[in-house]
Amino acid sequence: MDRIRIRGGNTLNGVIPISGAKNAALPLMIASLLTDDTLTLENVPHLADVEQLIRILGNHGVDYSVSGKRLSQTPANGRTIHFTARTIVDTTAPYELVSKMRASFWVIGPLLARMHKAKVSLPGGCAIGTRPVDLFIDGLRALGATIDIDQGYIHAEAKGGLVGNRFVFPKVSVGATHVLMMAASLAKGETVLENAAREPEVVDLATCLNAMGAKITGAGTPTITIQGVTALSGARHRVLPDRIETGTYAMAVAMTGGDVVLEGTDAALLQSAFAALRQAGAEISQAPNGIRVTRNGGGVQPVDVITDPFPGFPTDLQAQFMALMTRSSGISHITETIFENRFMHVQELARLGAKISLSGQVARIEGVERLAGAQVMATDLRASVSLVIAGLAAEGETTVNRVYHLDRGFERLEEKLVACGAEVERISG
């Protein structure tokens, strides 16, 4: 099993290209099930989750091809992948596939919309929380689907097709917003989604669906309106830059010091996180092709944050920000409001010398003068990269074990950090 070894103490200086967003690419790929034409996606990142979803879509009959790279392209430019669901050969998403990646459950929306039936395994629990699917079920029922649950599978049917309706999310859910927006695109009549997720990835999906012929307005606001159409066509769409990767590397620069341009990304995707970073002492400015991040000479200042749906502070940056706060000059607090079990990285950060105490969903971080390298274990995707950030600033050598979590969401992490002066290497086996 691969490990990552880090020798801390180096500042980061240079350019880090930001990849396409995993959290946008996955629903965009699933949207290919809505049409028998070809959906072409540009800037698709090289990630384990993307490869797994390609296999899952193949189970339903989606063919894909990858465009060859031009000589001027680099791996950071992402791939262009063509998805064609000419014929849906199977409307069942089996447990052995859904259990490997939770987002694969989202195929239920397009399958119901296009084929009027779907049998999809319940995805089960998750290391960072249960993430129940009741919002998906209630929303699809509001669109006219008949849904039964039997032996761990959701059996959904919409004889004659889905029908538009008004649905109010009792709590904000990005995944359920994705699914209902895709399903409603082929429903009869108008659908209004209230208290919908406002994340940039939701906007990106709506933009792509509209390019395919959907009629969606209001994406990025709490109210999304969809006028159903009889069929969608193919389209070409570029995946937006990964705001979580952007924020992660910005926090790494704030942790180590230095001067880095995050290339190909947009500061508007991360207003709340960048506000917190500026309070912590980072300087963030617009660069010709991205964002420049530096840290001033005053060290890291303590900042309190509360995770919240967009435009609030992202839960997917909570662990990384906690790593940064371990080196602050005072006491900070992080309140996690999205997932009930997303502090598993605390014990691993403590192995590096961090002083963190927990009270319910609030972490109290007392900054320390130094962290010391140690063996640590990645527990989930975002927690794993928080340990990398801490290792970059720790004295001596840090080894992060179980880095397959990292490969799910960070493309070529070691290469990008090494190019900016970090001492990071992957150890195989």
* pLDDT tens digits, one per residue of 11-50: 999 999 999 999 999 999 999 999 999 999 999 999 989 9
Catalytic residue list contains 420: no
> Minimal CA–CA distance to 176: which of 197, 156, 194, 190?
197
Phi, psi of 184 (to 5 degrees): -70, -20
Q: From 248, 255, 313, 315, select the one nearest 280 (Cα to Cα).
A: 255
pLDDT for the residue numbered 77: 63
The catalytically annotated residue of 66, 89, 126, 268 is 126
Can you give the pTM of this predicted structure? Answer: 0.94
Cα(220)–Cα(342) distance, integer angstroms: 26
Percent of the chain that is helix, strand, coil (3-state, to 5): 35, 30, 35
DSSP secondary structure string, 39-92? Answer: EEEEEE---HHHHHHHHHHHHHT-EEEEPPPPTT--GGG-EEEEEE-SS----E
Binding site: what residues are annotated?
A: 22-23, 102, 131-135, 171-174, 316, 338
Measure the CA–CA gap between 337 and 353, rounded to whole angstroms: 26
Q: Is 100 helix (H, G, I), strand (E, B) or coil?
A: coil
**Is 392 in contact with 417 (CB distance < 8 Å)?**
yes
- Report helix, strand or coil for 114: helix
Secondary structure of 122-183 in HEC code, one letter for each residue? CCCCCCCCCCCCHHHHHHHHHCCCEEEEECCEEEEECCCCCECCEEECCCCCHHHHHHHHHH
Q: Digits of tens for pLDDT over the chain (429 positions)? A: 789 999 999 999 999 999 999 999 999 999 999 999 999 999 999 998 999 999 999 999 999 999 855 444 455 567 999 999 999 999 999 999 888 888 899 999 999 999 999 999 988 544 434 457 899 999 999 999 999 999 989 999 999 999 999 999 999 999 999 999 999 999 999 999 999 999 999 999 999 999 999 999 999 999 999 999 999 999 999 999 999 999 999 999 999 999 999 999 999 999 999 999 999 999 999 999 999 999 977 789 999 999 999 999 999 999 999 999 999 999 999 999 987 767 889 999 999 999 999 999 999 999 999 999 999 998 877 778 999 999 999 999 999 998 888 888 899 999 999 999 999 999 987
What is 182-199 written as a DSSP string?
HHHHTSBSEEEEES----
Note the pLDDT tens digit of each residue in 312-364: 999 999 999 999 999 999 999 999 998 776 788 999 999 999 999 999 999 99
Contact between residue 373 and residue 398 where contact means Cβ atoms under 8 Å apart: yes
Across 42-75, b (16+ Cβ under 10 Å) vs e yields ebbbebbbbebbbebbebbebebeeeeeeeeeee
- Report pLDDT for 404: 84
Quick one: pLDDT at residue 74? 52
Q: Where in the chain is the domain with CATH 3.65.10.10?
A: 3-18+241-427, 22-236
Which one-letter amino acid corresponds to residue 29? M
Structure confidence at residue 123 (pLDDT): 82
Binding-site residues for UDP-N-acetyl-alpha-D-glucosamine sit at: 102, 131-135, 171-174, 316, 338
Scan for tokens 């605390």, then name that residue.
346
pLDDT value, residue 128: 36
- CATH top-level class of 3-18+241-427: alpha beta
Is the bond preceding 94 in cis, omega lying within 30 degrees of 0?
A: no
Q: What is the model's pLDDT at position 130?
A: 47
CATH T-level assignment (fold) for domain 22-236: UDP-n-acetylglucosamine1-carboxyvinyl-transferase; Chain (3.65.10)
